[in-house]
Amino acid sequence: MAAKDLGALRLGIAGLGTVGAGVVKIIEKHGDMLAMRAGRAIEITAVSARDVAKDRGVDLSSYDWVDDANDLASRTDVDVVVEMIGGSEGLAYDLVKAALSNGKHVVTANKALLAHHGFELAKLAEDNNVSLAYEAAVAGGIPIIKAMREGFAGNQIDGVFGILNGTCNYMLTAMRETGRDFDVILKEAQDAGYAEADPSFDIDGIDAGHKLCLLSSIAFGVKPDFGNLQITGIRGITAEDIAYADELGYRIKLLGMAKRIDGELMQVMEPCLVPLSNPMGVIEDVYNAVFVACDALETPLLSGRGAGEQPTASAVMSDVVDIARGFNVSTFGIPADQLQDPNWMALEDTHGRYYLRLMVLDQPGVIADISAILRDENISIEGLIQRSRDPDQPVPVVLTTHDVRHGALVKACAAFKALEAVTEEPCLIRIEELE
C-alpha cells in the first residue's frame, strides 16, 4: 500500500546567525536526501532576522522575509518554527510560546530559554500536541538529548558528567600547553573568535550551567531548575594550578555534574581535576564530552565539537527530520505533569576529594598552623607538595585530601585566610574520578 502523502513540512526560521544560516545551507544542499529520510519534503517558507541586508553567505530571495519574527507563529504556511534568536526572555520567549499555543512545532538551540522556562513550555507543547525539540541546545552536534531521552530509556540514570563549554575547554587547554595565565589566554581566545568581547556567559559557567539543567531534567525526571544550580567558573584557575594538576596525573576541566546520592540530587558546575586515565580527562580544545552513568549499560563517552555552524545546524536538522517523520516525544522524556520538583543536596553537604593550593610566606610554623586547621575540621591529607622559592616571596603549598565534606573545607579555607602567612585566596578544586 502506498504511503500517505503528507505534503511538505514547512519551516519558518527566526534568527539567521551562524546556526540559522547553516540550517538554510543544509536544506538547500541536501533537500532530496532529507525528503527520502523524512518521507516528505522539507521546505523553508519564511525567514526573519534583524538585518535584511546582511550578507549571510546564502541566497534567501526565494523565502518570504518577515520583519517581526512573532508573525511566524501565526502564519498558515509554517508548520515548524525554528528559533535561533537566543536569550531566555523577550522575543525568543514570546515567539516560542506563541508558536506552541498556535499548534506549531518548535525546534530551538536556546538552552537559556529552556533552563528558565522549560517546564512551562514543555507543558504548553503537550497541551497542543506538538513537539518542543532542542537537540542543538546541548553539546552542539553530539546527539546527547536523543541518547538520554530515547537511547537510555531502559536505564536508571545515576549521574551525568559533561564538558559543556568549548570556550572554557579551549582556554584551559591553551593555558596547559603554553604555561600562560588566564588573562593572556582570554585575550588570545577573543582575538581568535573563541570568546566573546564580554566572555562572562562562558567563563563564569552560565552557558554550561544552562545545558546541565536540561540534562539533569532528562536524567532524573525533574523540572529544569537553573536557579538552584551551584556554579563556579574558571576565572580563578591559574597556569600554576594546571601544572600541579598535570604533575598529579589530572587535567582541570570545567565539569558539569548531576548525581543521584541517597535520594537527593547533586547539581554542580565547577572546575574539577579529572584523571588522565579517564577519557574525559583528555578531551581538549573546543571539544565537548558527556558521560552518562546508567545501571544497565556501560555508557561510552560521547564527544565532539560543541558549537559552530555545521555541528549545531546538523543537530537542528535531526529534530526537524524527527518532526517530519511524525515522531513526537515528551520534551524531557516523561509527560510534563510528571516532572518532579527536584530535591537538591546542599553543596556544603557534598563529599569528595579536593585539591587545595595556598600561597604562604615561607616562615617557621606555617605548615603547623595549616595542619591544625585541617585537624580541627577533621580533614585528612592525602598528599602534600611544597617547594622553596625566594624566601621573600610567597610560596605555594599544595594539598590533596581524602574524602571530605565540602562544608568542612570551606570553613578551613576561611580559617586559612585569617592567617597572616597566607597571602592569597585559597584555591579549592574538586577531584572527580568519574566512577
Share of the chain above pLDDT 70, in %: 98
Residue ending a domain, among 116, 137, 158, is 137
Give a yes or no: residue 314 inside a domain: no
In a domain, 333, yes or no: no
| Together in a domain, 361 and 402 | yes
pLDDT at 1: 38
- CATH number where 167 lies: 3.30.360.10
pLDDT value at 248 more than 50: yes
Grid cell in block for residue 247: 604533575
Q: Are residues 111 and 243 in the same domain?
A: no
Report CA 113 to chain centroid distance, whole Å: 13
* 275 and 179 co-located in one domain: yes
Residues 297 and 182 in one domain: yes
Three-state secondary structure readout of 332-400: CCCCHHHCECCCECCHHHCEEEEEEEEEECCCCCHHHHHHHHHHHCCCCEEEEEECCCCCCCCEEEEEE
Read off the pLDDT of each residue in 167-184 and give the average, rounded to a whole number: 94
- CA-based nearest residue to 252, from 266, 230, 235: 235
Residue 330 lies in a domain: no
Give pLDDT tens digits for 39-62.
999 999 999 999 888 888 888 989
* Structural domain count, the chain: 3
User: Which pLDDT does position 5 carry in this prediction?
Assistant: 67
Instruction: Read off the C-alpha cell for 244.
Output: 600541579
Same domain assignment for residues 153 and 264: yes
Q: Is the pLDDT of residue 3 over 60?
A: no
Work out the mean pLDDT of the chain and round it to a whole number: 93
Query: Cβ(374)–Cβ(358) under 8 Å?
Result: no
pLDDT tens, 94-123?
A: 999 999 999 999 999 999 999 999 999 999
* Residues 180 and 158 occupy one common structural domain: yes
Q: How high is the pLDDT of residue 163?
A: 97
Residues 178, 299: one domain? yes
Both 361 and 386 in one domain: the answer is yes
The Cα 419–Cα 425 span in angstroms is 11
Instruction: Tell how strand 302-305 and strand 287-294 pair up.
Output: antiparallel
- Catalytic positions, written as ranges: 211
Give pLDDT tens digits for 7-36: 999 999 999 998 999 999 999 999 999 999
Do both 149 and 260 map to the same domain?
A: yes
User: Among residues 137, 168, 200, which one ends one of the domains?
Assistant: 137
In a domain, 191, yes or no: yes
Q: How far apart are CA 262 and CA 141, in angstroms?
A: 33
Within-domain flag for 154: yes
> Which CATH number goes with the domain that contains 381?
3.30.70.260
**Of 322, 307, 309, which Cα lies nearest the Cα of 34?**
322
Q: What is the pLDDT of residue 2?
A: 43
My answer on whether 100 and 35 are in the same domain is yes
Residue 47 sits in a domain whose CATH number is: 3.40.50.720
Domain that includes residue 125, residue range: 9-137
Q: Do 104 and 190 lie in a common domain?
A: no
Pair (170, 103) in one structural domain: no
Query: With contact defined as beta carbons under 8 Å apart, do 136 and 312 qualify?
Result: yes
Residue 55 lies in a domain: yes
The H or E element containing residue 163 is strand 157-163
In a domain, 421, yes or no: yes
Of the residues 329, 347, 365, which one is the last residue of a structural domain? 347
Q: Domain for residue 242, yes or no?
A: yes
